[in-house]
Amino acid sequence: MQAFAYRDGVLHAEGVALTGIAGRHGTPTYVYSRAAIEARWRAFDQGFACLPHLICYAVKANSNLAVLGVLARLGSGFDIVSVGELERVLRAGGDPGKVVFAGVGKREDEIARALEVGIRCFNVELVPELERIHDVARRMGARAPVALRVNPDVDARTHPYIATGMKQNKFGIPADEALSVYEYATRLPHLKVTGIGCHIGSQLTEVGPFDDAVAKVLDLVHLLRARGVEIEHIDIGGGLGIQYRDEEPPAVHAYAELISRRLAGQVKEVLMEPGRAIVGNAGILLTRVEYVKETPAKRFVIVDAAMNDLIRPALYEAWHEILRVRRDSDAPVAECDVVGPVCETGDFLARNRAIVAVQGDLLAVMSAGAYGFSMSSNYNARPRAAEVMVDGAQAYLVRARETVGQLLAGETTL
């Protein structure tokens, strides 16, 4: 389905013109399509239909309550990395029994809260964490469900900042130590070892690395079984890429088919943690051209969104398509840099892009539903953008634009 398409020369989100959203809520504003989010979640659900499975949407990709609420209503689980994300899931109506908790630095209070609400499982990344979870569980008189996140040492062939499954990365327990860590874990009375998992990186555009990683994890499952340790679930992580430009990431069904074939009959349940693949192409960032600046060297289109709103171009040199919302005037296409008002040369949304853009135009930065708002900041004392979710012909403001007053609340002078 096409969540964002032109109708009568105006870019729409489902049935709503983006010009109307900008008029009502201002810019910069993130706009999400409920139908697109649901369609992608269902693609995973159907792809894995032949196996007992649980989709744990990676909250970090987009943690807006409306996004989480839409997914919770579909019956989704959630992959969280902080107590803040846990509280978001609970507030949105998510089932704590379908939450997995990943991350290399879990604090005691976070572990305690997760135990208190009864999450599905902790994905453990190192032995001291295992011991800390055991300790907290003992004090609470509980038994904590744990899975080990192993590091399979597989190259995800993605941007180095978001590759996580190689031995030089901080994530997971080295595969060759996993057996002894499992044996240790099974001796700790306040732990219940339920699973094994891996997550090798994000924005993967090939299935090969997933296949290699799952094969390595399965080898461990077999070795553990031979030693009498039964593993109930395998968590295959997230990481399936989306198309930003001309990438050709595997289709969800192809990815699901490959993994299902490998896992059929091997474990009781497969868990997965897709983030970007569900929300990435379900959102855009709507921004307005404040000025056009021509210099002898370059043409700069200065917009009201900046690196604080969408940091992916600055941080990963990510490419996002930029579309003009109203395709009416006959202004010429010109090569330009689309930049924000932040005082850094790294503050760009696009470089050397041939587009039409004149002062006052609305532009849509595409594929911004994942790691857009969730990575935004207040740099340069810029309030964070508004967020709108479109559902058919309706647009709902799901997060009001931050105010400068909110930015200053909590601070004092001496």
List, by residue number, the catalytic residues: 343
- Total residues contacting ligand LLP by CB under 6 A comes to 23
Q: Could you give the CA distance from residue 204 to residue 209 in angstroms, rounded to a whole number?
A: 8
Binding string, residues 311-330; x marks residues near ligand LLP by CB under 6 A:
-x---x--------------
| CB atoms inside a 10 Å sphere around CB 167 | 12
Strands 386-391 and 394-399: antiparallel
Beta bridge mates, 58: 79
Query: Least distance to ligand LLP from the beta carbon of 407, Å?
Result: 23
Nearer to ligand LLP, 129 or 391 (CB): 129
Query: Least distance to ligand LLP from the beta carbon of 241, Å?
Result: 7
Q: Is the dihedral of CA 180, 182, 185, 186 positive or negative?
A: negative
Nearer to ligand LLP, 315 or 334 (CB): 315
Determine if residue 50 is left, alpha or beta; phi over 0 gives left, psi from -120 to 50 gives alpha, anything else beta: alpha
Q: Does 237 bind ligand LLP (CB under 6 A)?
A: yes
- Cα atoms in the 13 Å half-sphere on the side-chain side of 254: 10
Tell me, what DSSP letter sits at residue 349?
E
Site for ligand LLP in 135-174 (CB under 6 A): 162
Q: Does 82 bind ligand LLP (CB under 6 A)?
A: no
Query: Least distance to ligand LLP from the beta carbon of 174, Å?
Result: 16
| Binding range to ligand LLP, per CB under 6 A, among 44-52, 237-245, 251-259, 356-364 | 237-245
Task: Give phi and psi for 310, each to the nearest 5.
Answer: -140, 105
Question: Among residues 59, 61, 148, 385, which is the contact residue for ligand LLP, using CB under 6 A?
Answer: 61
Site for ligand LLP in 2-21 (CB under 6 A): none
Site for ligand LLP in 337-396 (CB under 6 A): 370-371, 375
| Binding range to ligand LLP, per CB under 6 A, among 114-122, 210-218, 270-278, 294-302 | 270-278
Cis previous bond, 160, omega within 30: no
Q: Does 98 bind ligand LLP (CB under 6 A)?
A: no
Beta bridge mates, 54: 271
Site for ligand LLP in 240-269 (CB under 6 A): 240
Q: Does 102 bind ligand LLP (CB under 6 A)?
A: yes
Task: Give phi and psi for 194, each to the nearest 5.
Answer: -115, -25
Which residues fall within 8 angstroms of residue 180, CB to CB, at 6 or more apart? none
Q: Does 277 bind ligand LLP (CB under 6 A)?
A: yes
Nearest-CA neighbor of 122 among 28, 29, 372, 134? Answer: 134
Q: Could you give the CA distance from residue 353 to residue 366 in angstroms, rounded to a whole number?
A: 14
- CB–CB of 126/100 below 8 Å? no
Q: Could you tell me where the DSSP H helices lie in 92-126? A: 108-117
- CB–CB of 398/25 below 8 Å? no
Question: Among residues 38, 273, 361, 391, which is the contact residue for ligand LLP, using CB under 6 A?
Answer: 273
Query: Least distance to ligand LLP from the beta carbon of 264, Å?
Result: 23
Nearer to ligand LLP, 313 or 361 (CB): 313
Q: Give the amino acid at 103.
A: G
Site for ligand LLP in 182-211 (CB under 6 A): 199, 202-203
Q: Does 274 bind ligand LLP (CB under 6 A)?
A: yes
Q: Does 79 bind ligand LLP (CB under 6 A)?
A: yes
Question: Binding residues for ligand LLP, per CB under 6 A?
Answer: 58, 60-61, 79, 102, 162, 199, 202-203, 237-240, 273-277, 312, 316, 370-371, 375
